[in-house]
Amino acid sequence: MNREKVIFAFFIVLALTLNFGFFVGDTGNPDHHNVYELYAAIVVSLIATVLKFGDRTHIGAVLLATSLVADLQLVAAAIVWGAAEHIMVNGMTESVMASVVSLSAGALLANITSVILLMVETIMIRR
């Protein structure tokens, strides 16, 4: 058992599950989307990215790329959320919530890609 692999797989899958948990629900309805879940998704996704730093294998580089995409989408969603709550006059509206959720949906796709790559890598290992 490779400890490093366990930790990385844990974080990659956790990022996907958290993101999915945030994403499900009515797209425009703020009650269906928990801010804590988004927060946890961002933190876990960041950690997963750092874990891939300095990996020189080809699949490692692609995994770094996909998790960077997920980070970017999630941070963008958080910025939109923060801006709506504190800067915009109207506050959190349905349309803003929809754009936050759609951004996180993009991140979800990136997370799914990561997990697929992870599975491919696992399947390719022959002992």
Partner 1 sequence: MNHILFVLLRRLRTPLITVIVVYAVSILGFVLIPGVDDEGNVWRMDFFHAFYFVSFMGSTIGFGEIPYAFTDGQRMWTIVTIYATVISWLYGIGKMLSIFQDQAFIRLMNRLSFVRDVKRLREPFYLVCGYGMTGARVVEQLSKRGIQSVIVDIDRERIDALETDEIDFSVPGLCADASQPDVLSEAGLESPYCVGVLPLTDHDTVNLAISIASKLIAPDRPVICRTESDITTANLASFGTDHIIDPFVTYAEYLALALHSPYKHLAYDWLTNPEHRSITSAYQETQGRWVICGYGRFGRALYQSFKDTPVELTIIDYDRSRVCEEIDFVEGLGTEAVTLDEARIRDAVGLIAGTDDDANNLSIIMTALELNPKLITVARQNLSSNARVFDAARTDLVMEPSRIIANNILSLIKTSLLGVFLDEMVHRRDDVWAHELVNRMSTVAGDQELDSWAFTVDPECTPALSKALEEGKVVDLSLFQEDPRGMNRHLSAFPLMLKRGEQVKLLPDESTEVQAGDAILFCGLSGAFHQMQWTVSNFNVFSHVIGDTDGQGGWLARWYRKKKLS
Tell whether residue 6 is a contact of partner 1 (CB under 8 A): no
Nearest CA-CA partner of 67 in 120, 117, 125: 117
For the bound state, the minimum distance from the C-beta of residue 78 to partner 1, rounded and expressed in Å, comes to 7
Query: Residue type at 37?
Result: E
Residue in 1, 3, 31, 53 binding partner 1, rule: CB under 8 A: 53
Residue in 10, 39, 62, 112 binding partner 1, rule: CB under 8 A: 39
Which position has the token pair 């797209």? 27
Stretch that binds partner 1, among 13-21, 23-31, 45-53, 94-102 (CB under 8 A): 45-53
Q: Show contacts with partner 1 in window 65-124 (CB under 8 A).
A: 78, 82, 85-86
- Render 4-64 in DSSP notation, one character per residue: HHHHHHHHHHHHHHHHHHHH-S-TT-GGGS-HHHHHHHHHHHHHHHHHTTT--SHHHHHHH
Residues binding partner 1: what is the number (CB under 8 A)?
16
Residue 36 makes CB contacts below 8 A (sequence gap 6+) with none
Residues lying near partner 1 in the complex (CB under 8 A): 35-36, 39, 43, 46-47, 50-51, 53-56, 78, 82, 85-86
